[in-house]
Structure formats: structure tokens, C-alpha cells
């Protein structure tokens, strides 16, 4: 049998690669930073190649490190799950899922009890950090992302088709100077999500107002905060109809009766071979059955 490097060295390498920080990885593994560095160096000596580019505040995988991580991280994750299932006395299926917070709160969490009742052995590790599609296969088993077009190298299932709404405070249409004409946006702030930068331009084009410029454009990376800003009268949020409908917030109102197909959709994405993994397959099938309207 071919000799293998120590499992502790492999575990240290994967943790540093995923966090991008020796300090953070050491905290996760309950080690000192020097002890963790020695484990990574032991792996590099074993394969006789450096795996990281060392920088002042971070470590970044080099080409060899990227290749090794892609091959070894899924194996380590499966090993971890196998040991956990044996030590817990029951089968545990764990899914590392990347998802945007607003989608999780509005569309997934209201149905999680149903998922747990159907698959009590399935457990979710929820990751709400950004750029989740880029991290699929590298720390995430699967992700729910919002995009125009998913990465063609990934398996992708569209979860919805939506419309863009102009969403503002209800006081904007019920006050003494109601906002009834889209031209009034020239005196208002547009609120745009960083993952959906073209929502306003798509809405403006559908309204036949390509030259219209708002007073200002404020960018957010949180849909929940966009809705709150709109409710407080801080601007007009250009978001999906589902975001408005699922918010159930009496402070909010759709400002104009304009039909605009969104260029963006929510997608479930994973590596093609990940669909062969039981936790990914179970969650995918439940998600599609629960949320997708054919």
C-alpha cells in the first residue's frame, strides 16, 4: 500500500485553504497558529511542493494547491460524515449549503420542518456569505444563487421566474404628494442589490424611460436591509415580486403598475457529480418539489 500523509496534515491544509487564514483555521481546529503551520508544512514536504502563496495577511492557494484541494476536500468531507454517522449511532447526512439570507428566510425556513419530517437524517450547514456559486465544490456542496446565467460547468436548476417591482414606503402613495408618475424617480434614490445590478435598467427600459436617472443609486448586499430601507422611505428598491410578496410588510407598496420580466432567477447549483451524493440529491429533490412551479 502506498504511504499517505498524516490525516491531521490533510485536515490542516483543507481548513487553511477554505478560510484563507492560518489564524482562522487554527481557531477552527483548536490549535495554535504555529502548530497548524507545521502540519501544513509537513504535507508540503510529503508531496515536495508548496501549496500556498504566503502573503502578509493571508495565504492563497497556488495552482498545485487548488488541484489538490479539489480532489481531497470532498474525500475528507465524506470521511468526516462517515465517522459522525457512526459515532452518533444513526446515519447523518450533512449538506453544506450556500444561500442568500433573504431567500433562506422567505423561501426555505418556512418549510424546514417539512424537510426535517421527511428526511430526519439530513442536516444543513448554512453559509450566507456572498459569491456562493464560485465556492461550490470548495467548501460548499451546493448553493442557491441569484444570477442571469449560472456557470455552465455546474449542474443548475432554475427555481423561479420573476418580475421586477419598484418597491417603496406606503406613505409614498398615501401621503400629500403621492408618487404616481415614474418620472418622479428623478427626485428619489434607487436601491439596488449588488448581485442584481441590472434590475433598475431593466425596469426603466420596460417603462420606456431609458434616459431617466434617479437622484442617486445606493447599493446593498442584503435584500432584507433593502426592504427595510424602502419601508423607512429612504429610497425605492428595485427587487423581485417574490421579495415584496413574501415580506408581508404593510409598510411597503408596489409603486407603479408596470410589468417587467426580471433578467435574474434563483438557481440551485452544484458540481455535476455532487448529484450522486445522497444529501445533495435529497435536498435538491425536496427543494424542486416544494418551490418550483412548472
Per-residue confidence (pLDDT) for residue 26, from 0 to 100: 83
DSSP 7-49: HHHHHHHHHHHHHS-HHHHHHHTT--HHHHHHHHHHHHHHHTS
Model pLDDT, residue 266: 96
Residue 282 reports pLDDT greater than 80: yes
Q: Is the pLDDT of residue 22 over 90?
A: no
Spatial distance between the Cα atoms of 6 and 171, rounded to a whole number of angstroms: 64
Residue 116: band (very low, low, confident or very high) from pLDDT cuts 50, 70, 90: very high
CA 135 to chain centre: 9
How many helices and strands, by DSSP H and E, does the chain display? 11, 12
Residue 95 near residue 142, CB atoms below 8 Å: yes
Q: Which three cell numbers stand for residue 69?
A: 484541494
What 3-state DSSP class applies to 230? helix
pLDDT at residue 81, as a whole number? 64
How does pLDDT run across 138-170, given as a tens digit for each residue? 889 999 999 999 998 899 999 999 999 999 999
pLDDT in tens, 232-280: 999 999 999 999 999 999 999 999 998 899 999 999 999 888 888 889 9
* 92-160+265-291, CATH topology level: D-Maltodextrin-Binding Protein; domain 2 (3.40.190)
**Helix, strand and coil percent figures for the chain, each rounded to 5:** 45, 20, 35
- Strand pairing of 93-99 and 142-147? parallel
CATH number listed for the domain at residues 164-254 = 3.40.190.10
Dist CA 218 CA 237 (whole Å): 9
Return the CA Rg of the chain.
Answer: 23
* Matching residue, cell 496534515: 9
- Mean pLDDT along residues 42-69: 86
Collapsing DSSP states into helix, strand and coil, what is residue 233? coil
pLDDT tens-digit readout, 62-86: 999 888 988 888 788 777 766 666 6
Q: Which of 56, 72, 64 is nearest to 20 (CA)?
A: 56
CB atoms near residue 56 (< 10 Å): 4
- What is the pLDDT, as a whole number, of residue 103? 95
Name which of 93, 95, 75 is nearest 84 in CA terms. Answer: 93
Give the mean model confidence (pLDDT) for residues 183-205. Answer: 94
Specify the DSSP element, H or E, that contains 59.
strand 59-61
Q: Let me know: does 12 contact 29? Beta carbons within 8 Å.
A: yes
Q: Which segments of the chain belong to CATH 3.40.190.10?
A: 92-160+265-291, 164-254
pLDDT tens by residue, 200-226 = 999 999 989 989 999 999 999 999 999
Burial of residue 244 (number of CB atoms within 10 Å: 0-12, 13-18, 19+): buried
pLDDT at 55: 73
Q: Where in the chain is the domain with CATH 1.10.10.10?
A: 7-84
What whole-number percentage of the chain has pLDDT above 90?
60
Residue 294 has pLDDT above 60, yes or no: no
What does the mean pLDDT of the chain come to? 89
Q: Is 1's pLDDT higher than 60?
A: no
pLDDT at 85: 60
Q: What is 7-84's CATH topology? A: Arc Repressor Mutant, subunit A (1.10.10)
- Sorted by sequence, the CB contacts under 8 Å of residue 65 that are 6+ apart come out as 13, 17, 50, 51, 52
Taking 90 as the threshold, does the pLDDT of residue 188 lie above it? yes
pTM over 0.75: no
Name the band, by pLDDT with cuts 50, 70 and 90, for residue 57. Answer: low
| pLDDT over 80 at 172, yes or no | yes
SS3 29: coil
As given in the structure block, the three cell numbers for residue 7 are 490525516
Amino acid at each position: 500500500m502506498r504511504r499517505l500523509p498524516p490525516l491531521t496534515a490533510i485536515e490542516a491544509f483543507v481548513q487553511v485553504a477554505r478560510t484563507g487564514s492560518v489564524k482562522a483555521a487554527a481557531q477552527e481546529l483548536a490549535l495554535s497558529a504555529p502548530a497548524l503551520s507545521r502540519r501544513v508544512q509537513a504535507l508540503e514536504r510529503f508531496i515536495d511542493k508548496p501549496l500556498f502563496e504566503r502573503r502578509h495577511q493571508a495565504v492563497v492557494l497556488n495552482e498545485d494547491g487548488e488541484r489538490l484541494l479539489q480532489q481531497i476536500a470532498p474525500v475528507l468531507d465524506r470521511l468526516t460524515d462517515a465517522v459522525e454517522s457512526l459515532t452518533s449511532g444513526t446515519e447523518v447526512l450533512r449538506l453544506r449549503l450556500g444561500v442568500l439570507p433573504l431567500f433562506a428566510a422567505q423561501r426555505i425556513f418556512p418549510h424546514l420542518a417539512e424537510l426535517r419530517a421527511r428526511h430526519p437524517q439530513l442536516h444543513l450547514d448554512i453559509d450566507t456569505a456572498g459569491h456562493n456559486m464560485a465556492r461550490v465544490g470548495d467548501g460548499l456542496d451546493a448553493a442557491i444563487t441569484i444570477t442571469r446565467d449560472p456557470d455552465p460547468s455546474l449542474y443548475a436548476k432554475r427555481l423561479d421566474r420573476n418580475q421586477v417591482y419598484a418597491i417603496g414606503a406606503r406613505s409614498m402613495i398615501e401621503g400629500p404628494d403621492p408618487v404616481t408618475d415614474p418620472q418622479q424617480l428623478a427626485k428619489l434614490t434607487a436601491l439596488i442589490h449588488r448581485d442584481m445590478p441590472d434590475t433598475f435598467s431593466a425596469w426603466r427600459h420596460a417603462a420606456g424611460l431609458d434616459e431617466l436617472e434617479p437622484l442617486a443609486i445606493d447599493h446593498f448586499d442584503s435584500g432584507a436591509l433593502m426592504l427595510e430601507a424602502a419601508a423607512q422611505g429612504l429610497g425605492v428598491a428595485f427587487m423581485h415580486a417574490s421579495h415584496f410578496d413574501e415580506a408581508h410588510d404593510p409598510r411597503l407598496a408596489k409603486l407603479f403598475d408596470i410589468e417587467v420580466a426580471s433578467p435574474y432567477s434563483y438557481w440551485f447549483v452544484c458540481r455535476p457529480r455532487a448529484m450522486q451524493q445522497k444529501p445533495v440529491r435529497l435536498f435538491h429533490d425536496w427543494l424542486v418539489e416544494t418551490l418550483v412551479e412548472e
